[in-house]
Amino acid sequence: MLELKQAIDAKLLDSTVYWTVGGRCYFNTSPTDDYPRIVYSRVSGVPDNAFAKTGESVLLQFDLFSMQSAGDTEILTMESQLKALLDDCTLTISGQLCVRFMRQNTLDMVEDLSALQDGSSLCNHTVVEYECTYQAV
């Protein structure tokens, strides 16, 4: 998973969506309450061994957060930029061959959180899930 995380971080770094969220792209948890931001994590990972090569199929979840006061445009822009960057992309994973990186699901919701920076408590939250399958070179 370390190599996959490094490949995703490298893909996100300096991308359009990275700059839209002010560089706030994190793995597993966010160290800040600042918005907008993206937090991604592994949902599951299962072995995908074929032709005597070890591999894995990993379901990844990208959580996009935006203050509702920013309107729908911000969260929809983030979603569009993330999909443009990751849909069917090729990742460079150390020691691995990325066989596919495919979007699986998208879900939109509004969350009621503790008070945000702008004094509101509502947050737009979009979840985009991807399946990444890779094998040892």
Within 13 Å of residue 4, how many CA atoms lie on the same side as its CB? 24
Domain that holds residue 105: 2-136
pTM attached to this predicted model: 0.91
Count of the separate structural domains present in the chain: 1
Contact 111/123 with Cβ under 8 angstroms? yes
| CATH number of the domain bearing residue 123 | 3.30.2000.30
Q: Report the distance separating Cα 74 and Cα 134, nearest Å.
A: 32
pLDDT, one tens digit per residue, over 17-55 is 999 999 999 999 999 989 999 999 999 988 877 666 788
At 74-98, the pLDDT tens digits run: 999 999 999 999 999 989 998 888 8
